[in-house]
Every structure is written in C-alpha cells, then in structure tokens.
Structure 1
C-alpha cells in the first residue's frame, strides 16, 4: 500500500510542479514523447494483474465464481473500503512527509492542492484510478446485474401466467415490491451499482405495466354506464387499484433510498409516470362515456319549454327542470356505481373534475343558445344554475376548485335578469365570460327574424355544439355570429324595413369590441 501511495503522490506533484526557469510542467517532460504518465502505467499494471488473477481463480473454481457473481455487492464494498483507506493513508502520509521534510514542497504548490488532485487529467490521458480499480470487477458486475434482473422479473412472470385474466393478489404484489426494495437496498453500497439496479427496477415496473395492460377490457362493456358494473369493468377497476398500490409502494421505496444517485431516482420516477399513464388509459373509456352521457342530457334542455311568463301564485314554477333532475341522478349514480370502487381517490377526482368543468361549460353554452326565453323561463333557468352546482358536486372535491368554469357559472346567472345594455357593458364580459357566449345569449332577446348562427346555417343544436368544440377560437366563432347579424341586415333591407330591432345595435357594438379584442393589440 505504501508503494501505491508513493506513486500517487509522485504523480500529483509532477502534475503541479513546474521548472522555475522554463515554467514547463514536469509531467509534460515525461509524456512529451507519447509516453504514458506514471500513474496510468502503474494502475494499468495493478488492475491488469487483478483481472488476470480473478479470471484464473474463477476459472479454476466454480464455487469462487458463483461467490463473486452472487455476492458482488459485498466484493464491491470491499473495493470501496480499500479505496477509502488508500485516500485516508494518502492524507496521513502526505502530512507526515511534509512535517518531516521528506517531501520537499515547491513554492508554487500547497498540500491542499496536491491532496485535492483526485482525477488526473493531463496530456493524452484522462484517467480515474478508482474507476480503473472497479473495472477489474466488470465481468462479475455484469453477471450480478443479469441475475438481479431475473430475480426482479421472476415474481412478475409467476403472477401473470400466460392466458391468465386476473391481476396479482395483495400478497403477490407485496412479494414483487419486497423484491424491488431488496435489490435496491443491496445495491446501495455503490452509486454506479445503485443506478444500474434502479434501471433494472424500472424495467421491472415497465414489465408489470405491460402485463397489466394485457388484462384490461377494451370492449364495449368497458364503457357502458347504463347498468351495474360488468365483469370487464370490475377487472379494469382491479387492474387500476393494483397499479395504484404499486405506484404508492415504489414511491415510498424511493423516499427511503437516502443517498441514492439522482439519475437512479429519475429512472424510477420515469417508470412511475408509465404507471400513471396506464391508469389514465384504463379509465379513459369510462370517463369518455360518462362525459358523453352528460352532454346528451344537457342538450335535452332545448326540448323543454322556457318561453312561458312569470308563474301565478296558484301555479308556482317547479324548482328544477326535468333535464337537471336527470343530470343530478345520473352523476350521483355513476359515482356510486362505478367510481367508488377505485381506491385511488385523488386520481379519480383529477379525472372527474375535468368532466365537471366540461359539464358546466356545456350547460352555459346551451343555456345561452336557448330560445325563446320568457320571464318564467328565466326564473327556472336561474334555478337550474344553482342546481348545476349541486349536480357536479359529486365529481369534485369542492365545486369552487373547478376554477374558471365555476366562476363563469356564478357570473353568468345575474345576467339573465339584467338589461341588454348592462350586459354588454358588464366587466365580466370578455374578461371571464367569452364574448361569443354573451352574444349567443343576446340572440334570445331578439325577434325571430334575427336568427341565431346555427338557425341561419340550418344546423341542429347538436351539430352547432360540435362545431363550437371544433372551433375554440373566438375569432372563428365571432365570424359566424357576424354572418348572422349581416344576414339580418340584408333581410330588413330586402323588406324595406325602416329600423332595426333595438337589440341589434347593442349586439353590433359588442361584436365590434369583441372582434378588436380577438385581433389583439396593434403593433
């Protein structure tokens, strides 16, 4: 060991020391003719000898070969301890030599500078002796990693037999998780080994996802929302719950890894993103079916009569429209019949909240397109606005968490009873509620000859709603609305009318403001 330390310090000093006259580094003089530096030559000989000795020993003894491969982390730990001891002795020896005068330090190099020279990069060589020492064990590392991957894959292949239709049980999943944890813990003796085993663990999680995906039901009964859970839906729920438990367990393992290399943590976290993506894919058909059903219910508001006057005391209005009762009942039922079986509550809400937002946006869209709308209809529609909050409540943690759609719902309701001039000048218009939505609503206050955009195009409400989905740009929507207003102007002029409806100039002024806003500020 003393010889190793002497060579190390000789290399360090030669790298730092320069000729006082020519200022040429001493190491440059040694390697100027293409000769390798001292440390490179010495460690090449040492590691080559170690590799040869290990090879001969393991070739002669299968027991020794199995021990080196199976207990590689222990062997690597011994190497790491050897290197730490070398570094410790190096520091001690340097101090002793310096204090005794045995190492004549030049004026341009300090003890700290010599001591900090761990990786030697000079001339043609970029050489790390610690890495070279560990590289002599490379065959055993490769064999260990291969066996480690087999240990990780074996329990997964066991619980996902060919032709099987059931996800792993809790006990089987626990066995897989323990195997992952054990392999990562054993590999924690070395950062590079930790990274390699973490990549193996990530492959294991990916394999689990592939096997789980093969169990998912993708047929029509996976998305039905008419009757109770089908067998395929139950299996999908179980697969998602199993993936969720795996995700939570691996996340817990990651948090307990301690001084694990960041790259290893990233590999594991990346594999968990795959788990999350598969969970989302598994529930997507059901979510889409629920969203489509909600839209189909909301659009039926056009089949109800909102044209009536204010009700008399002996004929009070119903507190809630029929479509709204159906909507509330449907949402409550699907949450109870389908989504309550998922254990991943936050995951479910993250997905159903987007359905709630979409439901509110559709309700506002169709409420603004509703015509004719009488005073009694306004009162009933206002009640529906309040009931809408109750309808979507099961889909979210709190209705107020739904963000802009919730604020639009709250802001639009007072507009039902305001004068048209006040609506057009409301600060919420354009800022919170889109101009196109408010213009749609103002059509309901116009005479029948001032037709809504979908009436002018002779589209059904359903087709127009789809067009609005396909054209989210306000510029496109305003262009269609402008066409409806221009068609009205042509109609009035064709019959030689003397004046336009009182709502027309209000709508035209609002449209001009909206068009200017849609075009953005001028350069």
Structure 2
C-alpha cells in the first residue's frame, strides 16, 4: 500500500518551523523527495518487506546463502534510519492537529466524571426493585408446582379408572375374540403410555390381563390354523383380526408361516429317512439292529417292502406339501382381501413390503430347497433310493406333477394371486433332475443294448430275426407307453428313442449289400439280395409300427421322431433301391431294342410285320417283368393289397411302371420311318406293354402315364390334318407329338438327334435332362433348317407337318413365357 504523502508547509510562521531542525530545509527549499515506501516497492530486495506473507527467516537464509550478509545488513540499517527520519518529519508536519485532538480528549474526560454519581444512583434503584419482585415470584413458582402435581394426580386417577373399567369389561364372557383383543390392546397402551406402573390396583389388573392375553393368543392361533387347515377363511380372518387388535399381526403371521414351513420340511426329511423305513418294514431293519446298510441298500428279501414303504412315504409327503401350500395360500388370500377398518389399507401391507417375496413364494422356495437337497443326498448316499427312483422315475415324476397340478388347480381363483408361478413349478421339477437324467440314460442304454445285440458292430452280414425286431419294437413302445401321460417327460424319452432309431439306421445301413450280387437281375435272387430283402422288411416293420404309435401321440411329440423315422425310411429305401434301379435299366434296355425293329416296311417287304405275335423286344420285356415278379417283387411287395400303399416297394414299383410307360412312348415317338404296317405293329406292342406292366403294377392305377399310352395308340393312326384338333393331345407331352411328326415328314426334315449326330442313348439322356421349352428350342432349330432348304430350292410349299409343328411349338413357348 502507498505511504501517505507529506504535505508541504502551509505557513512559514509556524513555531515548529522556526526550530533549528528546519532552518536548513526551509532556506534551501529543495524539491520533495519520494516516499521511502515507494522506494521500497520498486527495490527488488526491500519490496519483500511490504508483502503480508513476509518470512524473516527465509529472507535471512537467502541473505546468508548469497554471501553478501554484511552488505545487506548495512543496507537495512540505512533503510531504518531513512524510515525514522520520515516518521519524524510526518509528526512535525501534523503537530497542530495532534494538539487539537489532545484538547478534545481532556474535555471528554471532564464530562464523564460528572456522569458517575447518576449511574451509581441508578444501580441502587435497580437493586431495590429486584428485591421487591423476588418474593412474589417465589410464591408463584411454588403454587405452579402444586398445580402441576394436582393435575398429574388427577390424570393418573382418570386413566387408572379407565383401565380398571376396561379390565372389568374384559371379564365379560360374551365378548368376541376380536373385541376382547381390541380392549386388551387399549388397556396395554393406556398402561404403558400413561405411566400407570406402580399403582397397586392397576398392576394387579395388568397381571390378570396378561393371563387373559395368553388365552386370546391361543384362541386366535387355533382359529387361524383351523381355518387354514379347513379352508375356512372366516376362521382365518377372526384369528388375524385378534392378532391385529393385539398389535401383533406381523409376528403372528410370521409364526404361522414358519410353523407350516417347518412341517413341510419335516415331511420331506421323513419321507427319505431310510432308517425310519427300515424300522417300519421289518423289526430287524435292512441292515440288522443298526437300520440300513452303509450303501443304503436293504438286505435280501426286504427290498420290495422297503420300496413300497418308500413310495407310501413319498405319497404322504406330497399330500403334506399340498396341505402346507394350500394352508399358506388361504392365509395369504385373507390378507389380500381384508382391509383395515379406518384406513382401508390391505392387511397384507401390514406384513409384507413391496419387493419382498409373497408368503407362498417364501414357503415354496424353502420346501423346494429342502426337497432338492434331500433328493440329491438320497441319490449320492443311498444306492437303493437311487435305483428305485431311477427305474420308476415316471412314478416319481407323476407324483410331482400331480402335486403341482393340485396346487395350481385349487389355488386358481379369480382376483387372487395363485400359490405357484411357472418358475416355481419348474423349480420343483428341477429338484428331481438328477433322477431324470439317470432314467433317460437308462432308457437309452436299454434300447441301445437291443440294437447292439441285433446289429453287432463287429459283424457284417448278420440279419436279425423277426422275433428280435419285434422285441425291439415292443421295447420302444413300452418306453413310450410308460410316459405317454407325462407331456414333458414324453418329449424327453422320445428324444432318447430318436437317438436309438438313428443308431439303428446307421447299423442297418452298414449291413446293406451293394456289390454286383445285389444288383443282378438276370437270375434268381442271390444271397446278398435275400439279405437286403430281409433287412428291408425288418426296417419296414419298425417304421410302420413306430409310425402307427406316433400317430396316437400329440403333434408336438410326433415331430420329435420325424427326423429319425425319416432316416430309417431312407435306409429302408437304400436296401432295395439298387435292385429297382437295375430292373429299370434292364427294362429300358429291352425297350431300346425297339429301334432294331423295322417299323417302316409293309406286308410285302417284311413278313415279320404280319401275325399276332409281339415284337421280339416286347417278348423280352414281358419275360423280364415276369421274372422280376417271381424272383423279386413277390418277396418284397406286401401280401395284402390293402397295405400295399404303405410299402416302399409299392411306391418304387409304381414309379418303375410309370417310367417304363413314359420311356416307351418317348422311344416310340422317335421311330422313323413308321409305315401303316409299322403302326399296326406298334399298336400291338402297346397292348402287349400293358400286359407286361400289369405284371409289375395295376396299369389302370398309373394315372397320367397310362392315359398317355392309351392316347398315343390312336394318335399314330390319325391323319396329319386331324392331329391339331384332336382331344387326345391333352394327355400327351408336346415333345412326343413333335417327335412323332418327324416320322410323317420328309427326309430332309431332320430331327435334333440326326441334326446333331447323336446316338439314341445320348439323345434320350438329353431329353431326360430338359424341359418341354428346351426340347422345343432344339426342334425349332431343325424346322428353321428345313425352311431354309425349301426356300433355297425356290419352293413355296412346305410339308403338312411343318405348320402343325410350328403351331404346337408356339403353344409350348407361350406356356414357358408365362411361368
């Protein structure tokens, strides 16, 4: 901060200025010098002395360390002398003002000395007044204390009288429990809040009320338990109201819930107490006087009785758990329905806070936890219990399911929270999960052992007998029947059966013979084929009977086995598909010999066209179908025509017969040239074909292929001009008509086979791989070549078949464009 400036002297006549000290300064009249504080502020060393946070020790330490301590000390001394001179100058310059201030202080002291007698007089007056007021105040305080005591005594007497009257009313036997509890609560509150302890008459009445309160609690508990056990909500309400009036609702409800929870847990522990079962089934027990053996297994001869005793205890346990949950739910329902008289708050809110589990949830969680613990302990500690519950797991599962169903059904009341949630049901089922896993493993093991027995891994070529297959099917059906009524368990068992069927399909596929002996069709059935036939029949029996069983189950259960049954079906097909493929190839090779016949000659050129006998290739075809029927189909097709539609071989025979008809028509349409005599021969061969195919399958049941054959026979005799309008064309593929028209056209109208120089086999293979639109494109190319040849010669007329083929082809092209 800046130091005050020294003002210049206002008058040279001041006595102070006439002192010798100022003579030189006045005479010289030097200009004013800067203030020492301003000099210090600009000095890098002394500026630190103006700081509020100046530290003398730090300054001294710095001076000593810099090596100039003596010079610095001298500088400081000079600064001190400068400050002293400046201070003296300031005092002398303000001398008149200081003298006037001194005179003012002297006058103030004189005034104060005159006020002292008045203050002493006032102090004496105040002391006399205090003495005059002290006596009335003391009297008033005494009287106030007396009044307060009198009022307190009157209040105690009033409340004591009220309490004695309440005690007298409580002795009235006509009071109901709820009213008696209300009066008892009022008396107790009055005694505690008004401090009536120590009054002999009151204390005596409170002892009597204490005895009465014990009776009230006992009667309330009896009423509540009677209502919970008998599903009488009125009794429960009476008991709860008594507890509420006593101010003990929450602890009373907790005690009731705890009592039933403990009873449920005790029943679970008792049900799986093997020592108790031992004592109940035999006087000596399973393991002698000590009860069960260490392994938990009863002695020889007592296992059956022990098992029945175990199931009896489990039934009793399930009944007890139902009773506990139903009772707690009844209690919770009353708490949910009833409200407080004045506030209309639900009783439930007095014993339950938001976010806490409900009473039923708490009890069920404790029961499930105890049940799961006991089940796990029994599984690991008792081989006997493990065996009983594993082998007869569906019975255990049914008990649990029935318990859950009973609780859910009986507590499903509109407007009331049910006793069980979906999560709670799942927890109970999960408690027996260990035995479920063992049961499913045992089920899989039993069925897998059957499959391993009839289809051993180490042997190939061994075909099981019908009895073995029948036993396997019966075993699968027994496993299904065992759990048919248990939806979730049924699905689990079906998944294990699906694994077994998958294993069966793998083993059966390994047994299928695929060598040359399995494919030969020129002689009697070989041993390899007979083995495949037997395998096919076994798989067909398995697939048919299991499918029949599955048709009686819900759709959700049937879908589980659909994939594995499909695998069995595919292996069943594979066991005979090679044979049917070989038979079809043999029959097609017979039809291919059609093109070795002369269908273009007449009666004079070729006498073979006359007569009633079939063509050689057709005779060969008929012989093959008869041989196939005798050697193969008779062993594969079912004896009963009613079940024929269910057999794979029936489908394969139908497909083979249909393909033979289609293949014959396609080859017949390629015959070129075709004379009138050749048409007669072709028609006779068609009739013989029907008889040949009849050996395989009823030809009239083949549908479109048979209609196409019956339509092609009259088509070949129609005039070319009549073809377009003939309704017979509807039953024939356009490619057949187009190829047949080549036989009616001139030689220069080449077919796609001739144009591309393909063999018959190559062309037929191409036809099988193409659709009608692609075949038409190939035919259209030959028609375009024919048109160019005709126009190249300068002719203006085309063969009659040319416009007909274009017309039929345009229909094919139009149909293809719409797709």
SS in 1 for 2:511: coil
- Aligned-partner Cα distance in 2 for 1:301–1:25: 97
Q: Are the counterparts in 2 of residues 349 and 395 from structure 1 also a CA contact under 8 Å?
A: no
Q: Is 1:383 aligned to residue 383 of structure 2? A: no
Q: Are the counterparts in 2 of residues 311 and 317 from structure 1 also a CA contact under 8 Å?
A: no
Q: Are the counterparts in 1 of residues 361 and 420 from structure 2 also a CA contact under 8 Å?
A: no
Of residues 512-521 and 433-442 in structure 1, the stretch that sits farther from structure 2 once superposed is 512-521
What's 1:415 paired with? 715
- 1:80-108 per-residue CA deviation (whole Å, 9 max, x = no partner) reads 343455457x36xxxxxxxxxxxxxxxxx
The 5-angstrom pairing of residues 188-207 of structure 1 reads: 188=484, 190-207=486-503
- Aligned-partner Cα distance in 2 for 1:305–1:30: 106
In the superposition, the TM-score normalised over structure 1's length comes to 0.84
- State the Cα distance separating 1:418 from its structure 2 match: 0.9
Q: Is 1:280 aligned to residue 580 of structure 2? A: no
The alpha-carbon distance between structure 1 residues 318 and 118, as it changes in their structure 2 partners (threshold 3 A), is farther
- State the Cα distance separating 1:53 from its structure 2 match: 2.3
The alpha-carbon distance between structure 1 residues 437 and 252, as it changes in their structure 2 partners (threshold 3 A), is closer
- 1:133-169 per-residue CA deviation (whole Å, 9 max, x = no partner) reads 2221111111111112111111211222212421211
- Aligned-partner Cα distance in 1 for 2:625–2:346: 80
The alpha-carbon distance between structure 1 residues 386 and 13, as it changes in their structure 2 partners (threshold 3 A), is farther
The alpha-carbon distance between structure 1 residues 323 and 164, as it changes in their structure 2 partners (threshold 3 A), is closer
Q: Is 1:299 aligned to residue 592 of structure 2? A: yes
Q: Give the greater-gyration-radius structure (CA).
A: 2
What's 2:745 paired with? 446
Q: Is 1:482 aligned to residue 780 of structure 2? A: yes
- 1:55-80 per-residue CA deviation (whole Å, 9 max, x = no partner) reads 33444433223222232222223333
The alpha-carbon distance between structure 1 residues 268 and 506, as it changes in their structure 2 partners (threshold 3 A), is closer
- 1:178-206 per-residue CA deviation (whole Å, 9 max, x = no partner) reads 32222222223522222211221222122
SS in 1 for 2:374: helix
The alpha-carbon distance between structure 1 residues 357 and 60, as it changes in their structure 2 partners (threshold 3 A), is closer
What's 1:334 paired with? 628
What's 2:278 paired with? none
- Aligned-partner Cα distance in 2 for 1:240–1:11: 64
**Aligned Cα root-mean-square deviation (Å):** 3.2
Q: Is 1:404 aligned to residue 697 of structure 2? A: no
- Aligned-partner Cα distance in 2 for 1:28–1:400: 81
What's 2:655 paired with? 354
What's 2:372 paired with? 51
The alpha-carbon distance between structure 1 residues 506 and 54, as it changes in their structure 2 partners (threshold 3 A), is closer
What's 2:479 paired with? 183
The alpha-carbon distance between structure 1 residues 40 and 399, as it changes in their structure 2 partners (threshold 3 A), is same
SS in 1 for 2:483: helix
In the superposition, the TM-score normalised over structure 2's length comes to 0.55
- Aligned-partner Cα distance in 1 for 2:762–2:711: 27
- State the Cα distance separating 1:11 from its structure 2 match: 6.0
What's 1:124 paired with? none
- State the Cα distance separating 1:311 from its structure 2 match: 7.0
- State the Cα distance separating 1:24 from its structure 2 match: 12
Of residues 64-73 and 29-38 in structure 1, the stretch that sits farther from structure 2 once superposed is 29-38
Q: Is 1:309 aligned to residue 602 of structure 2? A: yes
What's 1:240 paired with? 536
- For CA contacts below 8 A with separation 6 or more, give which structure has more relative contact order: 1
SS in 2 for 1:214: helix
The alpha-carbon distance between structure 1 residues 25 and 278, as it changes in their structure 2 partners (threshold 3 A), is farther
Q: Is 1:138 aligned to residue 433 of structure 2? A: yes
Q: Are the counterparts in 2 of residues 173 and 246 from structure 1 also a CA contact under 8 Å?
A: yes
Matched length? 486
Q: Is 1:432 aligned to residue 728 of structure 2? A: no
The 5-angstrom pairing of residues 123-272 of structure 1 reads: 127-161=422-456, 162-188=458-484, 190-254=486-550, 260-272=553-565
The alpha-carbon distance between structure 1 residues 488 and 27, as it changes in their structure 2 partners (threshold 3 A), is farther
- Aligned-partner Cα distance in 1 for 2:504–2:338: 58
Which of 56, 64, 67 is residue 385 of structure 2 equivalent to? 64
- Aligned-partner Cα distance in 2 for 1:139–1:496: 95
- Aligned-partner Cα distance in 2 for 1:85–1:518: 65
The alpha-carbon distance between structure 1 residues 505 and 310, as it changes in their structure 2 partners (threshold 3 A), is farther
What's 1:101 paired with? none
- Aligned-partner Cα distance in 1 for 2:604–2:478: 73
- Aligned-partner Cα distance in 1 for 2:772–2:501: 44
The alpha-carbon distance between structure 1 residues 27 and 129, as it changes in their structure 2 partners (threshold 3 A), is farther
Q: Please, which runs of 5 or more residues in structure 1 have no aligned partner?
A: 92-110, 121-126
Q: Are the counterparts in 2 of residues 225 and 334 from structure 1 also a CA contact under 8 Å?
A: yes
